[in-house]
Structure 1
Amino acid sequence: MANVTLKDGANPTELENAKKAVTDKGGKITNEFTLIKGFTAEFPEDSVQALESNEHITVEADSEVKTQ
């Protein structure tokens, strides 16, 4: 799973393009964020590079965050 977020200054349509790229590659959007422009998705490993090459978005592995 990965978190995909729109970079500052990028056109919001780029996020829609990223969602389409995920689903076109056989992935699934599992959560859409409301406070930030982004989403969490499950997609095949071989499609990660295609998403990471998009200069308008950031792709990060989803992980658990804890506070102390």
Structure 2
Amino acid sequence: MPAVNVTLKSGASHEELEKAKQKVQDQGGKITNEFTLIKGFTAEFPEDKVGALETNEHITVEADSEVKTQ
């Protein structure tokens, strides 16, 4: 399963993040990391189900990838 990062958009309530976590688990995904500086998490999630997360207007969903600094 591919990994995705899910982050809460500005102004959204913490409950929306909890709903997203529950949706991941309900759709067969697994939360692998929870962020502490921002409201969000990384999850392994079935690729064919990512659309179910992307319909939530309170979160941003993007593929997890390596980030480098100079």
Q: TM-score range by the shorter chain?
A: over 0.9
Unaligned runs of 5+ in 2: none
Provide the alpha-carbon RMSD of the alignment: 0.5
Which secondary structure does the structure 2 equivalent of 1:50 belong to? helix
- Number of the residue aligned with 2:60: 58
Runs of 4+ aligned residues of structure 1 deviating over 6 Å after TM superposition are none
Give the 3-state SS of the residue equivalent to 2:10 in structure 1: coil
Q: List alignment gaps of at least 5 residues for structure 1.
A: none
Task: Report the TM-score when normalising by structure 2.
Answer: 0.95
Name the count of aligned residue pairs.
68
The percentage of aligned residue pairs carrying the same residue is 79
